[in-house]
Structure 1
Amino acid sequence: HLKRKYTIIHQESPDERGIDCAILFDASRFTLIRSEMIPIALPENGK
């Protein structure tokens, strides 16, 4: 049993490989104000 109250923030990614983004944090030490995805445009050749 965990002694801390952990919370998870998870965002579905539009990545076709199914890669999502998440963070786990101690809710007693951190107050979430907001969460958002910030898109990053990568070059077509992957470099």
Structure 2
Amino acid sequence: MPAGGIPARVSNAAGTFVCNRLLYGLIHALAWEGNKRRENSPPFGRAVFS
């Protein structure tokens, strides 16, 4: 990233690691849940009536 002109540095703080782990874990879980829901939904353009 520094080569691209974006200022960045490595952080070895435990709090930063835990925060990032939780954030990316949550993003992954939400994406996985969204994919499961899309698989079970009807295709667009098709109305489903009971």
Does TM-score exceed 0.5, indicating one fold?
Answer: no
TM value normalised by structure 2:
0.19
Q: Give the TM-score normalised by structure 1.
A: 0.19
Q: Which structure would you say has the larger Rg?
A: 2
Q: Which has the higher helix share?
A: 2
Larger RCO (CA within 8 A; separation ≥ 6): 1
